[in-house]
Amino acid sequence: MRTVLKWVDKVSDRDKQEQGVFALCFSPDGAQLVAAAGQAVLVYDAVTGNLIQPLKGHKDTVYCVDYSKDGKRFASGSADKNVIIWSSKLEGIVKYNHNDAVQCLEFNPVSAQLASCGSNELVLWSPQLKAVQKHKSTSRILCCSWTPDGQYIALGLSCGAVSVRSRSGEQKTRIERPGGEDTPIWAVAWSPIKEDNNDILCVTDWGQTMSFYNFSGKMVGKERALGFEPLCVRYISKGEFLLVGGCNKSCFLYTRDGIKLAQIGDSHQSWVWSCAAKPSASHIAVGCQDGKISMFQTVFTQVHGIYKEKYAYRENLTDVIIQNLLTDQKLRIKCRDLVKKVAIYKHRLAVQLGDRVTIYELYNGDAGAMHYRLKEKLSMKVECSLLVVTSSHLILCHDRVLQCVTFGGVHEREWETDASVRYIRVIGGPPNREGLLIGLANGQVLKIFLDNAFPVELVKLETSVKCLDISPSRKKLAVVNDKDQCLVYNLSDKQLLFQEMNAKFVAWNTSCEDMLCFSGNNTLSIKASNFAEHQLKIQGFVVGFCSSKIFCFYQNKMSTIDVPLSAPMYQYLEKKLFREVYEIACLGVTESDWKTLAHSALDSFNLEIARKAFIRIKDLTYLELIHDIQNRLERGDRENDVFLAEILSYRGKFKEAGRMYAKAGRPEKALQMYTDLRMFDLGQEFLAAAAAAGGTDMDKKSLLRKKADWANNINEPRAAAQMYLSAGDTLKAVDIMIQHSWVDMLVEVGRKTSSSGGDADIVLKRIAGALRSMGQLDLAAEMYRKLGADESLLEVHIEAGRWSEAIAALHDLPSHRAKVYLPYARYLAENDNFVQAQKAYHKAGHPEEAFRVVKHLTENAITESRFNDASYYYWLLAKQALQLASEGQQNMLRKYYEYEKYATIYYAYHSIQRYSEEPFTAYSLEDLFNIARYLMQETKVIQPPGVSQFALLLAVTKLARPLGAYKLARQVLSKIHTLRIPPKYQEYVDTLSLMVKGKPYHDSEELLVMCYRCSSYNPLMTPQTVRPNACTNCGQQFVHSFVTFEVLPLVEFYLEEGLSESEALKLLESPPDDNDSVWTQNIDSNVQSMRLDESSPRPDPFSARIVSYDGSTTDDLVPVIANRASLRTLDISNVIICRYPKPLGVRFYRNLLPDVQVTACPHCHKIFHVDDYESSILEKGYCPFCRVPADANEDLEGL
C-alpha cells in the first residue's frame, strides 16, 4: 500500500495566524469537504482542493462539523455555545444554543436527528420537533458516535468513561476505563460491521490504548497499545479499517481488530485533530493543529502468487487467501500484520510481513488438500522487488541480485545478472535443485538451478522481457517482450519457431506440449502447433492455462474461464491427426466435439480412437458396432463396403446405406434394414432385387405384417388392424380392436366371419367375449347365437337383466335353473320386490338364501327403528316358513306363528313409536290407547328386540290419563318404576305419578273391554297368568281391527269332526232354515261344550252367558263347534271366512253385531273395519299389514 498526496491547503486568518483544523467531514456524495478551521466553516471541492465558500456564522472557534447521511444539511458547533445547521446550498437554516462550548456533534445515520454535546449536556435536535431536548451529563463530553442503526449514541467523557444512551437520552450502558480521569476519552466510533450480532465500539483514550466493547459494555478482543494520545478515530472501507490520528503528528491505518498497518502520508508539524475518508473512493483527508489540510489517495497494489491451479492473494491487507482455481475452494490465513509479498509453490507458501517472512506448508504434503500450517518463521526485514519460494528455499530479488535463502535463514547462494530482473518463474525440479526462468530488462532469458552458481543463457532478445513460460516437456520457450510480441523458441537448437503480435502475457498449457495462449488488448489467443490462433474477447491478462481452463486476472480479481478447445481440435482433425486430436479432446471439449471425433475416426476405420471417443460420450450403440466390426475383422471378414453401410445406417443415413449395400452386392440386407426400421416404402423398392436373388412372395406378406407391427407400435392401431386383416392375420386385428374398444369394427368382422370351426370360431369367441366385457350385451348375444353357444347366450341374458328371455331359455337348459333364478332373486331383492325374490330363491333351490336376505333386512330395519318395515319383513318370513311347512317341514309351522306374532307386534309398535317421537299423529287418542293396550298385553310373554318397554308403558300412561283410565295409569306407573328410567324422563315420570295419584283409583267403564262371547267386561290390565288379549272369564281370544285395534264383535267357531271345509262352505252358501238349529251348551264338572244342534230348544248360543266355571278349568278355552244343521241356519254375510294356505286350512268367525261391517284381507287374513280397510286401500293402494294390492291375485296355495 502507498499514499499519494493529491492536494494540501494551509488555513490562516487575515493576520496570517494559523487556524487549527479541529474537524473534517465529506458530503455523502464525496464532492465536498467541510472543515472546521478557526471561527469559520470552510467548504472545499474534494477533488481539486479549491475553496468553494467560507461560512461565517460563529463568533468563536469551531470545534466540530458533520454532514447528514441524506446530504440535505450539515451542522457545525463552536465555542460560542451555538450550533448552526446549514443546507446543502451553504445557507444557514437552524441555529440553537448550548449552556457551554459545543465540543462535538453527529447526525443520526438513519434519520435527520442531530446530537450535539457541550461541556456537560447532550442536546438532541430533530426537524420534526420545534424545541430541542437537553440531557445533563455528570462529566464533560469530549466525543460522540451513533450506532449504525441510529438507536444509540456513545459519549466519550473526560472522566475516562463512555456513556451509551438511547435516542431519548436515557443511559443504557456505562463503560469505565481503568485510567479514570487521567485517561480522558477523546475519540470513539461504532463499527459498521457486527460481530456475533453485536455492535462493536472502538474506544481510544489518553492512556495511549485502543480497546473494543460490545453494547453490553464487555470488552471484545485485545486491548491495543497505540504509543500516542489519540485525538480522532474513524472507520473506513465499510468497517474493515480504522484511521487514528493524534498527538504523534501522524495518521495511521489500522485493521478493525486494532493491528497497525501503515502511516497515511508523512508526519506533520503539529497534532492531527481530525481525519475523514471519502465515502466512494480511496481518499483520506487529514486536518492538523497548524491549519494544514491534506488530501491523500491510498493505492492498494495487488499482492499475489500463482502456481498451476493454486492462487494466493492478499485480502484486507493482513489476510492471505489460498484458492484452488479449479474447485473454487478457499482457505484464509490471518497474519495480523501487513502482508507485503506472497509466493506459492507446490505445497509451500511464503508470506512477507513487516519484519519477518513466514513459511506455511500443506499437511502431509497433499497437493489436493487445503490445510496449511506454519512451518518456519524467519525474522528478517528485507525490501525486495520479487519473492519466490521453492520446496526448501526463498529467492529474494533486489534489482539485479538474486539471493537464495534457506528456511533456516542461511544465505546459500547469490546471483548477479547483467540487467534488472523483470520476471521470475519456477519451473520445478527435484527438491533443493529446482530450476528458475529469469527474464531480464536487456532481453536475456536465463535458467538458474538452485544448486548451481552459474546461470545458463537460453535466448537473447532485442528488447526487455515482460513475461515468459516454458512447455511441460521444457523443449519450447515462449517469451513476451516490450513490443508486445510473443516469441516461441525451440530450446534444443534455439531456433525461433513462430511469433505472434498483440501479446502482453503468455501461458503454456500445462497438459499439452503444443498449445499455449497469450493475451493483449482484451483479446485472448489460443495457438496450437503451427496452426492459426483462435481468438476470444476476454478482459484482463492470462496468468495460467490448465487443460481447458484459463486463469485470467482483471481488476485485482482472478477468474477461471472455461474456453472451448474445439478450434484447435478441428485444426488437427482436418489433417487426420487422430492421436493429437484425442489428446486435445481429453483437455476439455464439448460432447458434440467428441461425437465429431468419434465419427471421423470411425469413417477412417481408426477403430481404437473411435472406441475411446464413443466411451467418452457413453454411446453404447456405436461401441457395440465397433466391437462387432473388430470381431469380424479378426475372423477375416474384409467387406469394408458392408461395414460402411452399417455405419451409415447407424447414423440414420438409410438411403446411402441402402445404396452401399447394393454396391456390395447385398440387397437382402438393405431389405432387412428397411423392414426393421419400418421404412416399408423404401423396402418395396428392393423387393424386385430380393426376388431376383431367390426371394418369394412370402416376403411381401412378411413385409405387410411387419408394417402392421410398426403401425401398432407408433400408435396407429386402426391402420395396423386394417393391415393385419389384409395380411390374413384376423386374430391380431381383433386383439387390436379389443384393446381400443372399437365395437363397430368388431361387429363388422364378426358378421363377416362364418362359424365354420377352427380359427373362425376362435375369432368369433374372442369378439363375443370382448363385446360382453364392453357391456355390448345385445351384440355379444348375436355372436353367441352365430356360434350356437347356448350356455354363453344364457349368461349374456343374465348379465343384461333380460330375465324373461333367460327364463325362457331354461326350457332347453333345465340344469341351469340355479344359474338363472339365483341372480334373478338377488335382482328382485335389490329392487324391494321381496315376495317375487323369495319365489325365485325357492326355484333356484336356495330357500336358506331367501331367509338370510329377509332376516338381514329385518335386523337393519329394527336397528334403524323402521318398525313398519320390520313388520313387513317378518310377515315375509312367516309366509316363507308356512310354505316350507306345507312342503313337509313341520318344525317351520312353529316358526310361522313366531314370525307372524313378531310382525303383528312391530306393526302395532310402529304407531306408538311415531306417537312418542313425532309431534303429530293421524290416530285418535282412543285408537292409540287401544294399540298401546294391545302391545302391553302381547309383550307380557315375548319382548321383541327394539321394542322399548319403557316407551310403551310411558305411552300407555300418557294416553290413559286423559281418557280416565286412572287405575291403569297407576298400575303402569308402578311397573315403570321397576324399570331403568332414562335420566331425561325421570322428572316427567315423577310428575305423572303425582298427577295420577290425585285421581280416583278406577277406570272409565267406557274403556273396559267386553267379551262378545260371554258378554263379560275385562279389566284394562289383566293378570300375568291370563293369556294375552283374551277374555279373563271365558278365555276367548279377542279379534282386533288392524287399524284402530278396537275389539271386533267376532267369535271364532270350529267345524264338527267329520265335516270338511268344502262341505261347510256349501252349507253356509245354502239358504238358511228358520227352523234349524239353535245354540246349546253343556257344562258339567269336567267338560264345557257348546253345539249347534237341531234338537236344542235354545235360540242362540252366542246370546247366552257363562254362569259358572270350575276353578280348575278356567284357563281352558271352550271351543264353539258347528255341525251341518247349524251351519245352514247362519247367514253367510255374517260369517268371516279366512282361507289360509296349507297346512293351516280355513278359519271361521261369526259377526255377532251385523251392523258392524268388517272385512278380512284375502292375503294376510287380518280383519279390519270396512271403512278403515277401504281408506287404507285408497290412500296406499295396498293392505296396511301385508302391503299386497287389493287387486293382486296372489297364489294362496304357496309362494
Write out the CATH class of domain 2-299: mainly beta
Number of H helices, E strands in the chain: 29, 65
* pLDDT value of position 757: 66
Cell 490448465 found at? 546
Cell 238358511 found at? 1072
| pLDDT bucket at 1108, cuts 50 / 70 / 90 | very low
pTM, whole model, 2 decimals?
Answer: 0.54
Find out whether 545 and 507 touch, Cβ atoms under 8 Å: yes
| pLDDT bucket at 1094, cuts 50 / 70 / 90 | very low
C-alpha to C-alpha distance for 1172 and 1156, rounded to whole angstroms: 12
What integer best gives the mean pLDDT of the chain? 85
* pLDDT value of position 405: 93
- Residue 878 Rama label (left phi>0; alpha psi -120 to 50; beta): alpha
Find out whether 1197 and 1141 touch, Cβ atoms under 8 Å: yes
| pLDDT bucket at 800, cuts 50 / 70 / 90 | confident
| pLDDT bucket at 1116, cuts 50 / 70 / 90 | low
C-alpha to C-alpha distance for 1025 and 1029, rounded to whole angstroms: 12
H or E stretch at 68? none
* pLDDT value of position 1127: 83
Find out whether 69 and 94 touch, Cβ atoms under 8 Å: no
User: How long a stretch of residues is the chain?
Assistant: 1199
Which triple of cell numbers denotes residue 1057? 269332526
For 779-796, letters b (16+ CB in 10 Å) and e give bbbbbbebbebeebbbbb
Whether the pLDDT of residue 646 is over 70: the answer is yes
Whether the pLDDT of residue 897 is over 70: the answer is yes
Instruction: Give pLDDT tens digits for 972-1030.
Output: 888 888 889 888 888 888 888 888 888 888 888 888 888 888 888 888 888 888 888 88
* pLDDT value of position 448: 94
Find out whether 561 and 538 touch, Cβ atoms under 8 Å: yes
Instruction: Read off the DSSP letter of residue 365.
Output: G
CATH architecture observed for domain 461-563: 6 Propeller (2.120)
Find out whether 1106 and 1024 touch, Cβ atoms under 8 Å: no
Find out whether 231 and 241 touch, Cβ atoms under 8 Å: no
Instruction: Read off the DSSP letter of residue 888.
Output: T
C-alpha to C-alpha distance for 1104 and 97, rounded to whole angstroms: 136
| pLDDT bucket at 636, cuts 50 / 70 / 90 | confident
3-state secondary structure of 390: coil
Average pLDDT over residues 168-192: 92
C-alpha to C-alpha distance for 534 and 536, rounded to whole angstroms: 7
| pLDDT bucket at 699, cuts 50 / 70 / 90 | low
* pLDDT value of position 1078: 46
User: SS3 string of 757-783?
Assistant: CCHHHHHHHHHHHHHHHCCCHHHHHHH
192, exposed or middle or buried, with CB in 10 Å at 0-12, 13-18, 19+? middle
Whether the pLDDT of residue 249 is over 60: the answer is yes
Task: Please indicate whether residue 757 or residue 454 has the higher confidence score (pLDDT).
Answer: 454
Q: Which of 158-162, 705-709, 921-925 has the lowest mean pLDDT?
A: 705-709
| pLDDT bucket at 920, cuts 50 / 70 / 90 | confident
Instruction: Give pLDDT tens digits for 1151-1174.
Output: 988 889 999 999 999 999 999 899
% the chain with pLDDT above 70: 90
* pLDDT value of position 172: 92
Half-sphere exposure of 982 (CA within 13 A, CB side): 8
| pLDDT bucket at 203, cuts 50 / 70 / 90 | very high
Find out whether 877 and 916 touch, Cβ atoms under 8 Å: no
Whether the pLDDT of residue 271 is over 80: the answer is yes
Phi and psi at residue 1104, in whole multiples of 5°? -90, 140
| pLDDT bucket at 588, cuts 50 / 70 / 90 | confident
3-state secondary structure of 444: strand
Find out whether 1182 and 1079 touch, Cβ atoms under 8 Å: no
C-alpha to C-alpha distance for 538 and 526, rounded to whole angstroms: 12
Strand order across the beta sheet in which 272-277 lies = 2-10, 292-299, 283-288, 272-277
Average pLDDT over residues 7-26: 91
Distance of CA 43 to the CA centre of its chain: 62
Half-sphere exposure of 482 (CA within 13 A, CB side): 11
C-alpha distances in angstroms, 954 versus 85, 535, 733, 905? 98, 109, 77, 17
636, exposed or middle or buried, with CB in 10 Å at 0-12, 13-18, 19+? exposed
| pLDDT bucket at 684, cuts 50 / 70 / 90 | low
Phi and psi at residue 588, in whole multiples of 5°? 140, 100
H or E stretch at 1033? none
3-state secondary structure of 586: helix
Cell 467560507 found at? 54
C-alpha to C-alpha distance for 203 and 127, rounded to whole angstroms: 30
* pLDDT value of position 702: 62
Strand order across the beta sheet in which 121-125 lies = 104-107, 114-117, 121-125, 133-136
Average pLDDT over residues 783-808: 73
* pLDDT value of position 783: 76
C-alpha to C-alpha distance for 525 and 500, rounded to whole angstroms: 9
Find out whether 78 and 59 touch, Cβ atoms under 8 Å: yes
Phi and psi at residue 1003, in whole multiples of 5°? -105, 150
Any residues with CB less than 8 A from the CB of 266 and at least 6 apart, and which?
none
C-alpha to C-alpha distance for 795 and 803, rounded to whole angstroms: 11
C-alpha to C-alpha distance for 778 and 656, rounded to whole angstroms: 56
Any residues with CB less than 8 A from the CB of 661 and at least 6 apart, and which?
642, 645, 667, 669, 670, 673
| pLDDT bucket at 1098, cuts 50 / 70 / 90 | very low
Find out whether 184 and 142 touch, Cβ atoms under 8 Å: yes
Q: Which of 357-371, 563-577, 852-866 has the lowest mean pLDDT?
A: 357-371
Whether the pLDDT of residue 467 is over 70: the answer is yes
| Domain residue extents for the chain | 2-299, 461-563, 574-695
Among the listed residues 1055, 1054, 1014, 1056, the one whose alpha carbon sits nearest the alpha carbon of residue 1038: 1014
Instruction: Give pLDDT tens digits for 60-94.
Output: 999 999 999 999 999 999 999 999 999 999 999 99
* pLDDT value of position 34: 96
Distance of CA 24 to the CA centre of its chain: 59
DSSP 793-844: HHHHHHHHT-HHHHHHHTTT-GGGHHHHHHHHHHHHHHTT-HHHHHHHHHHT
C-alpha to C-alpha distance for 1152 and 32, rounded to whole angstroms: 133
Task: Please indicate whether residue 791 or residue 414 has the higher confidence score (pLDDT).
Answer: 414
Where do the DSSP E strands lie in 289-335? 292-299, 304-307, 310-315, 319-324, 329-334
